[in-house]
């Protein structure tokens, strides 16, 4: 029995341009920037799912990350237009895996993932919390979780 | 006689949102981020003026900066929508002063300036160059430089 | 009568190297990085003054900044060793002006300032607070504030 | 036959503190920062190996990265002292895998890896190059590559 199940989530697409400050002296994007884009994509997804603001409209801290990774296939330069395609591909009781694909003019230039866990803090202790049903529904494209669509 | 003359330039507006990674542990935007936005605004201005790509479509290094400053009037939080209004307000033979105003829902939250100089490099030496007429024309709203509209 | 008085503060020197990720596609330091160094210098100063941790050892949010500026005189490249010299040069009831000089191998490559204000928050409102005497004493080289040493 | 072989490289330790600007509104380190530390560790390793400066003392562009990943086990806060332990753990003809462990007061708080490839550019094309023998020797603790010490 697996804790995480595959999940056909909605895709959030973040369109932006490579900022000059995101490049380095090699003339291309400084690689940690890809994770700032993944984080941006996850925030976009969560905003769509109604999970970034509380009832008073204040920002809710994002789910902490426990694991991530990326592969890079082509360099990007300043001012290049990019699209970050973000989607939840696995979801468990407290955690989810989000997949991100970065495209430049229809070509994939990098992809990666984040594993995030819903938590609350109790002083220095961090305690996993169930992902609220409202977030789960907000993340699903048609409210459907499926076991055979693991991207 | 002044070297720099006041200049009624076109305004470039960059619309974006505060990224979560641009905040700090105080819960608000980490202040150096404002300068990354000013740089973004200047690149937008230069792109409009046809000055960011060379004839082969490669990015042209931005004009180096020699001076800058900012004042902050209200805090910004993650996900806040912002608009950066950027405009050249003075122009000389080799240098220009760009003014940036950052607004959040029609309220000004910060403003600042950059002084940039057109240069070429000769080994370790940096030599001022005249700003090309094409850039000067591209930056002017109606192709008009005027002496009495210093914002 | 001036609210701020000149202040001969202790100097905090932060020694570090230019990080590769702090450069941009022009091959030199991306200018907003200088303000991340100024912020680093101010934190060093405050740590020396015993003002960055509360009684339980938790980080205290830094004094918010209301104004800053910088001038740049020479480019820096990845891996260059630098020293950031930081000092309070003016102090008032709630605010202080900190001056930062960045040196590379004994040569000044940039300098700037920050004006910061001690505050407390009351909901969305921000209220100036007197700078505690302990911080004021911690910042002074010999516990002496003087009116004729404005750097 | 494997292209990459396990390698007992020297360990480079980078000691620094969490910068305030490296935290986010959740009060802890913004996770992409870990990769900026990994990059810093790799540069330290390469500097030790004599591979960051060319014969004229100019910075050599770092080996581009093709893959990376990280796991995070404990949060870090502003001003926390950290040590980044970096080591090449696999080396091939053109590529190497570098492992990074981040410690705070002797406790591991995160770890990750980078896979980097030595290349040269031929216009837009990127061509793998053999890792120079001098770099290979510089990276080895005792000049020894071994097959049974894969960390």
ipTM of the complex: 0.86
Q: Is B61 on the interface with C (CB under 8 A)?
A: yes
Contacts of A95 (CB under 8 A, 6+ apart): A3, A4, A66, A115, A116, A117, A118, A128, A131
Our CA-based measurement puts residue B142 at a distance from the nearest CA of chain C, in whole angstroms, of: 31
End-to-end Cα distance, chain C: 20
Specify whether the CB–CB gap between B74 and B109 falls below 8 A. Answer: yes
Chain B, chain D: beta-carbon pairs less than 8 Å apart: 30
Report d(CA D64, CA D53) in Å as an integer.
Answer: 16
Specify whether the CB–CB gap between D125 and D38 falls below 8 A. Answer: no
- Residue B21 has its nearest CB partner, among D20, D27, D30, at D30
- Give the burial class of B64: count Cβ atoms within 10 A of its Cβ; 0-12 exposed, 13-18 middle, 19 or more buried: middle
> Taking residues D20-34, what's their average pLDDT?
95
- Residue A62 has its nearest CB partner, among D26, D66, D71, at D26
DSSP assignment letter at D49: T
**Closest CA relative to residue C10, chosen from C35, C59, C45:** C45
Contact A69 D68 (CB under 8 A): yes
Instruction: Give residue B84's pLDDT.
Output: 95
Instruction: Give residue A111's pLDDT.
Output: 98
Q: Is A60 on the interface with D (CB under 8 A)?
A: no
Q: Is C59 on the interface with B (CB under 8 A)?
A: yes
Buried b (16+ CB within 10 A) or exposed e, A68-102: bbbbbeebbebbbebebbbbbbbbbebbbbbbbbb
Residue C32 token pair = 């907003």
Distance of alpha carbon A151 from its chain centroid, rounded?
Answer: 14
Q: Which of A49, A50, A59, A86 to mutate to test the interface with B (most CBs of B within 10 A)?
A: A59
Report d(CA C138, CA C144) in Å as an integer.
Answer: 10
Q: Which band of pLDDT confidence, cut at 50, 70 and 90, is reported for residue C14?
A: very high
Contact B79 A19 (CB under 8 A): no
**A18 or C133: whose pLDDT is higher?**
A18
User: What is the length of chain C?
Assistant: 151
**C109 or C138: whose pLDDT is higher?**
C109
Report d(CA B30, CA B22) in Å as an integer.
Answer: 6
> Taking residues C98-127, what's their average pLDDT?
91
Instruction: Give residue A3's pLDDT.
Output: 56
Specify whether the CB–CB gap between C59 and C52 falls below 8 A. Answer: yes
Helix (H, G, I), strand (E, B) or coil at C36: helix
- Residue B32 has its nearest CB partner, among D21, D24, D77, at D21
Our CA-based measurement puts residue A24 at a distance from the nearest CA of chain D, in whole angstroms, of: 9
Output the CA–CA distances (angstroms, integers) from residue D6 to C26, D23, D89, D92, in the order listed: 37, 35, 6, 9
CB-CB neighbors (< 8 A) of D28 in chain A: 64
Instruction: Give residue B138's pLDDT.
Output: 84
Contact D36 C59 (CB under 8 A): no
Instruction: Give residue B1's pLDDT.
Output: 37
Report d(CA C127, CA D96) in Å as an integer.
Answer: 54
CB-CB neighbors (< 8 A) of C30 in chain A: 20-21
Q: Is C57 on the interface with D (CB under 8 A)?
A: no
Q: Which band of pLDDT confidence, cut at 50, 70 and 90, is reported for residue D54?
A: low
Asked whether residue C149 carries a pLDDT value surpassing 70, the answer given is no
Instruction: Give residue C144's pLDDT.
Output: 40
Q: Which of C17, C18, C19, C21 to mutate to test the interface with A (most CBs of A within 10 A)?
A: C21
Q: What phi, psi does B9 have (nearest 5°)? A: -85, 165
Specify whether the CB–CB gap between B119 and B126 falls below 8 A. Answer: yes
Report d(CA C75, CA C90) in Å as an integer.
Answer: 29
The pLDDT tens digits of the residues spanning D105-139 come to 999 999 999 999 988 877 777 788 888 888 888 88
Asked whether residue D146 carries a pLDDT value surpassing 60, the answer given is no
Contact C28 A25 (CB under 8 A): yes
Q: Which band of pLDDT confidence, cut at 50, 70 and 90, is reported for residue C150?
A: very low
pLDDT tens sequence for chain A (151 residues): 345 677 777 889 999 999 999 999 999 999 999 999 999 999 999 888 877 666 676 656 668 999 999 999 999 999 999 999 999 999 999 999 999 999 999 999 999 999 999 888 777 777 888 888 888 888 886 544 433 322 2
**Closest CA relative to residue D78, chosen from A34, C113, C39:** C39
Q: Is B78 on the interface with D (CB under 8 A)?
A: yes
CB hemisphere CA count around A20 (13 angstroms)? 29
The runs of H, that is alpha helices, within B2-143 are 32-48, 133-139
Residue where the block lists tokens 């407290």: A94
- Give the burial class of D114: count Cβ atoms within 10 A of its Cβ; 0-12 exposed, 13-18 middle, 19 or more buried: buried
> Taking residues D62-80, what's their average pLDDT?
93
**Regions of chain B with pLDDT less than 50:** 1-2, 143-151
Report d(CA A145, CA C120) in Å as an integer.
Answer: 46
DSSP sequence for B23-51: B-TTSSB-THHHHHHHHHHHHHHHHHTT-
Contact B25 D20 (CB under 8 A): yes
Our CA-based measurement puts residue B121 at a distance from the nearest CA of chain A, in whole angstroms, of: 16
Instruction: Give residue A53's pLDDT.
Output: 67
**Closest CA relative to residue C38, chosen from C19, C14, C20, C60:** C14
Asked whether residue C61 carries a pLDDT value surpassing 70, the answer given is no
Strand extents, DSSP E, A58-106: 65-72, 81-91, 95-104
pTM to 2 decimal places: 0.89
Residue C52 token pair = 């960055």
- Residue A32 has its nearest CB partner, among D39, D62, D64, at D39
Report d(CA D13, CA D144) in Å as an integer.
Answer: 20
- Residue B31 has its nearest CB partner, among C28, C33, C68, at C68
Contact B79 A21 (CB under 8 A): no
End-to-end Cα distance, chain D: 20
**Closest CA relative to residue D12, chosen from D52, D40, D54:** D40
Report d(CA D21, CA B17) in Å as an integer.
Answer: 18
Contact D36 C21 (CB under 8 A): yes
Instruction: Give residue B126's pLDDT.
Output: 78
- Give the burial class of C114: count Cβ atoms within 10 A of its Cβ; 0-12 exposed, 13-18 middle, 19 or more buried: buried
């Amino acid at each position: 029995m697996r804790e995480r199940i595959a999940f056909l989530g909605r895709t959030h697409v973040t369109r932006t341009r490579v900022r000059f400050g995101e490049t380095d002296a090699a003339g291309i994007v400084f690689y940690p920037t890809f994770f700032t884009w993944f984080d941006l994509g996850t925030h976009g997804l969560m905003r769509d799912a109604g999970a970034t603001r509380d009832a008073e409209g204040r920002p809710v801290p994002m789910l902490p990350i426990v694991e991530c990774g990326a592969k890079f296939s082509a360099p990007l330069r300043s001012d290049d237009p990019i699209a970050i395609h973000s989607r939840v591909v696995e979801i468990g009781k407290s955690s989810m895996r989000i997949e991100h694909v970065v495209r430049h003019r229809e070509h994939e230039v990098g992809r990666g993932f984040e594993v995030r866990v819903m938590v609350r803090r109790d002083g220095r202790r961090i305690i996993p919390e169930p992902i609220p049903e409202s977030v789960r529904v907000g993340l699903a494209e048609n409210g459907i979780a499926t076991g055979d669509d693991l991207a």
